[in-house]
Amino acid sequence: MPPRSDVHYFGAGPAPLPTNVLEEASNVLLNYNDRGVGICEISHRSADATAILDNAKAALVTLYNIPTDEYEILFLQGGGSGEFSAVVYHLVSYWVAKRQAIATEELRLAVADGKADTGVDVNKMVIERLKREVHDELKLDYLVTGSWSLKASQEAARLVGAEHVNIAVDSRVANDGKFGKIPSEETWNVVKRKREGGPGSAMVYLCDNETVDGVEFPGFPKSLESYPEDAVDDDAPLVVADMSSNFISRPIDVRKYAVIFGGAQKNVGNAGITIVIVRKSLLPPVAKMASPELLRELGLPVGPIVLDWPTIAKNNSLYNTLPIFDVWVAGRVMAGLVQSHGSKGIAGQGEIATQKAALVYGALDKYPAVYRVVPDQSVRSRMNICFRVGGESAEKEKEFLQGAEQRGLTGLKGHRSVGGIRASNYNAVSMEAVQKLVQYLQDYAQAS
């Protein structure tokens, strides 16, 4: 059995973790804080568990410079796929509640001004109006740039109906039926509120980094930045980002997003928890949510309580039994980044990620007769480097993978849905590992 130091793992997730965190974890699994019991055995409602949650939140706040008066941090289960559903349940409920408040006030004023019969049942009229608005105007925008945003849009269609899902961009249209590009923002068909009236979409959904297809947004879309200026009555669509595979890998402006979420098993920790950063204005007591009874009357889904952000927030992420060990691992990983990069913060990690990715892409581009990078150069992911070998020859790619294994370079096989090779360049992948991969890329190309 080879020692851990001789194996360099490039798997897409679960991904490698820092060795020092795993070594510390092996101790706390047996005896946490000299309690005589392991961390997996302590109560999730204990003072120790609360401290673990607080420490993980504090590290994330430091890394992303999160304004804690404006945003709530939640830890829950269900993975990124669970949040595909949660964002729909929550933001559709929020959209309906806003429309309900507007309709109620307008009809109340109409009765008071004598423009409507004082004997009318305002509540009944509100329901009828909401039914029309849901039917005619409820939309959720999806930027489909890869396999995961496509799955998210499909889950939204399953929950609320395809008629309410607006595919604002489908990258396959611009790339011969395959993912690998992000079309120009001028071509996006995002539902915006018109100044003459009518609400916009309930949200705009994007996957910041597509793990399967190796596509990453270079930055926050400029066309979405204009929404606050274009908005009427605070009806700007809310930007939701799935950052599962590039979480804490570069600086972001959290304030530009309504919701950010990510499964932990790429850059943050082991599989088992999902982190959600959500604007407090979308949560009670600031925001009102539509009641389950109203949603059912409107033919809209009511979500499970374990995915309900207001419930999770109210209970400090401890409504049900949270895997505290998983939170501890994530907290230790994030605290390690805080310590490593000091005043640079997450920008320091961003520089390293960019440098590592540039080395790999440089080696691939140097031998175009042997390697073909899958995504367009303008949207190449720093995290998931997808390429083909030998003109997409299955035999050549098998040969390439076997040669890599012999050098201790593992986890390089592409996703089963697209094939090819994928080198995932997550935070815990060392510079040494990348340099050994680059050497192998050069050696293989020269021998081909």
* Structural domains of the chain ordered from first start: 71-325 (3.40.640.10), 345-447 (3.90.1150.10)
Q: What is the pLDDT of residue 423?
A: 98
User: Is the pLDDT score of 218 beyond 60?
Assistant: yes
Query: What 3-state DSSP class applies to 18?
Result: coil
- φ/ψ of residue 176, rounded to 5: 55, 40
**For residues 329-350, average pLDDT:** 95
- Mean pLDDT confidence for 349-367: 98
- CA 277 vs CA 87, 241, 256, 263, 378: distances in Å: 12, 10, 12, 12, 28
Comparing 381 with 201, the larger pLDDT belongs to 381
Q: Strand runs (DSSP E) across 215-267, as ranges?
A: 215-216, 239-242, 259-263
290-316 mean pLDDT: 97
CA distances from 372 to 218, 376, 423 (A): 21, 10, 13
Average pLDDT on 130-148 reads 96
What's residue 366's pLDDT? 98
Listed range (13-17, 199-203, 220-224) with the worst mean pLDDT: 199-203
Rounded Cα distance between 147 and 214, Å, is 10
Which whole number is the average pLDDT over 207-231?
A: 84
Query: Which of 203, 207, 155, 164 is CA-nearest to residue 182?
Result: 207
- State the average pLDDT over residues 332-359: 96
Do strands 421-424 and 384-389 pair parallel, antiparallel, or not at all (unpaired)? antiparallel
Please tell me the predicted confidence (pLDDT) of residue 51: 97
Task: Judge whether residue 154 has pLDDT over 90.
Answer: yes
Residues 6+ apart with CB under 8 A from 84: 151, 152, 155, 156
* Arithmetic mean of pLDDT, 363-392: 97
Cβ-based burial of 3 (10 A; exposed 0-12, middle 13-18, buried ≥19): exposed
The model's confidence at residue 2, banded by pLDDT at 50, 70 and 90, is confident
Contact (Cβ atoms closer than 8 angstroms) between residue 156 and residue 142: yes
Question: What's residue 254's pLDDT?
Answer: 96
Q: Flag whether pLDDT at 229 surpasses 50.
A: no
Query: Does residue 196 surpass a pLDDT of 50?
Result: no
pLDDT in tens, 241-274: 999 999 999 999 999 999 999 999 999 999 999 9
DSSP 12: S
Write out pLDDT tens, residues 56-101: 999 999 999 999 999 999 999 999 999 999 999 999 999 999 999 9
Task: Quote the pLDDT of residue 302.
Answer: 97
- Rounded-to-integer distance, Cα 440 and Cα 433, Å: 11
Q: What percent of the chain has pLDDT over 90?
A: 86
Distance between CA atoms of residues 178 and 42, nearest Å: 48
Q: Pull the structure tokens for residue 307.
A: 């995915």
Q: What is the pLDDT of residues 155-195, one digit of tens each?
A: 999 999 999 999 999 999 989 999 999 999 999 999 876 44
What is the C-alpha radius of gyration for the chain, rounded to an integer number of angstroms?
Answer: 24
Q: How confident is the model at residue 228 (pLDDT cuts 50, 70, 90)?
A: very low
How high is the pLDDT of residue 200? 76
Write down the pLDDT at residue 392: 87
At residue 278, φ and ψ (nearest 5 deg) are: -130, 140
Question: Which of the two residues, 446 and 115, has the higher pLDDT score?
Answer: 446
Instruction: Round the average pLDDT of the chain to a whole number and report it.
Output: 93
Q: Write down the pTM of the prediction.
A: 0.95
Q: What is the dihedral of CA 151, 156, 159, 161, to 10 degrees?
A: -110
What pLDDT is recorded for position 233? 46
**Percent of the chain whose pLDDT exceeds 70:** 93
